[in-house]
Amino acid sequence: MYSFKNDYSEGAHPNIIEALVKSNLEQTSGYGQDAYTEEAVHSIKEIVKDENVDVHLLVGGTQTNLTAISAFLRPHEAVISVETGHVCVHETGAIEATGHKVIAVPSENGKIRAGQILKVLATHTDEHMVKPKLVYISDSTEIGTIYTKAELEAISSVCKANGLYLFLDGARIGSALMCKENDLKMEDFPSLTDAFYIGGTKNGALMGEALVICNPTLKADFRYHIKQKGGLLAKGRLLGIQFAQLFKEDLFFSLATYANEMADLLRAAIKETGYEFFSESPTNQIFVIFPNEILEKLEKDFDFTIWEKIDEKRTAVRLVTSWATTRKGVESFIKALKDA
C-alpha cells in the first residue's frame, strides 16, 4: 500500500532530522528565544528580501491562521474567503471561535477575484452587518490552483484601496512558487500582502509554519497572541532548527520542485489515460475524476482521499505528492492506472 493521501505522511527531510539529532543535547533558551530561531528568522528575511518584516514560527496551520487573524482584527471585523477556503470549511470554526465571522464568497478555481471583494464591501454598509476587514487567500489553493502575479496584484490593490488586510495562507506556498505556471516570487509577498505564512509541515519539516508580518501596524505584541492561543512552543528551537535547515541552500525550494515533478508525472499519466481533472491544479495536489470501478482497483494498492462524489458512476479523488514521495511509488501508481 502506497499513500498519496497527503504531504504530511512522512517525517522530515534527512537534513532536518540530522540537525535535530546534532543539536539535541545543547541547552538553549525556551519559547523561540534561541540562536536557531534567530538564524531561521534571518534566513526568512533574506528569502523575502525584506529586513523589516516580523517573523514568528508556529507549529501548525490552523494555529497560525487563528492566532494571526484574531490578533489583527477588532471584534466587529470579518474575514472574506472563498467558500472552499481552509479557514472557511476545514478548521472547525477556529476563526469564529475567536469571535469573527468568515464571509464566504463563491470560488472560481479555488480563487477569489478582486471584484468579489468589492461586491462584499458594497453589501456591508452599516453597523447592522459585520465590517469586512481581512481577505484570506491560499496559494496554492485548497484545490491546488495558484494565483498569478497579476491576480494577486489586483486583489492587493483592492485591499489597499479599501483599508482591508490581505492575509495569504502559504501552507503549500513551496509547491505554488515552484510550479511551472507560477510567476510570483517569495519576495513579492511583503509588498503585496499584510501578512503571509510559509508552510513547513507540508514541505519537509516535522511541523512548523513561518508567519511573516509585513504591515507594521500588525506587529505589536504578537508573541502575546501566540502564547494566549497555546502556540508558543516551550522548545521553540525545534522550529528554528527546521526552518534554518529549510532555507539552507534552497532546500525548501528544491523539495517543492521535487514534489511538483512527482505530481507532473502523475498528471501526465492521467492525461494520457484520458480521465478528467476535477480542478486545473499545476501543483502537488491533483484532483481527478475516476470511474468508480477504476477507483476500486486503485484503492487496493494505493491510499488517497475521496474528495467528492460526482455522480453515480464517478468520484473525484485527491492525490498528493511531497518531497518524500518516491519515484517508485509514482511509477507503480501509473502502472496500476494504465493496467486498470
Site for a copy of itself in 136-155 (CB under 8 A): none
Among 55, 112, 195, 324, binds a copy of itself (CB under 8 A): 324
Q: For the CB of residue 21, give the shortest distance to a copy of itself in the complex, in Å.
A: 6
11: Cβ–Cβ under 8 A, 6 or more apart, which residues? 17, 206
Give the residue from 198, 228, 221 showing the smallest Cα distance to 210. Answer: 198
Question: HSE on the CB side for 262, CA within 13 Å?
Answer: 25
Rounded Cα distance between 215 and 193, Å, is 8
- Residues in the interface with a copy of itself (CB under 8 A) total 76
Among 90, 149, 313, 327, binds a copy of itself (CB under 8 A): 90
Rounded Cα distance between 209 and 215, Å, is 18
Binding piece for a copy of itself, criterion CB under 8 A, among 8-16, 106-114, 268-276, 330-338: 8-16
92 binds a copy of itself (CB under 8 A): yes
Contact pattern for a copy of itself over residues 217 through 256, marking x by CB under 8 A: ----x-xxxxxxxxxxxxx--x------------------
| E-state strands within 33-192 | 54-58, 77-82, 102-105, 131-138, 165-169
Q: For the CB of residue 282, give the shortest distance to a copy of itself in the complex, in Å.
A: 23
Task: Tell me the three cell numbers of residue 76.
Answer: 466587529
Q: For the CB of residue 91, give the shortest distance to a copy of itself in the complex, in Å.
A: 7
100 binds a copy of itself (CB under 8 A): yes
Nearer to a copy of itself, 98 or 273 (CB): 98
174 binds a copy of itself (CB under 8 A): no
Among 10, 38, 50, 151, binds a copy of itself (CB under 8 A): 10
Rounded Cα distance between 155 and 24, Å, is 44
Among 35, 38, 45, 104, binds a copy of itself (CB under 8 A): 104
Is residue 305 exposed (0-12), middle (13-18) or buried (19+ Cβ within 10 Å)? middle
Beta carbons of 196 and 212 less than 8 angstroms apart? yes
Binding piece for a copy of itself, criterion CB under 8 A, among 44-52, 83-91, 106-114, 253-261: 83-91
Give the residue from 272, 267, 271, 275 showing the smallest Cα distance to 313. Answer: 275
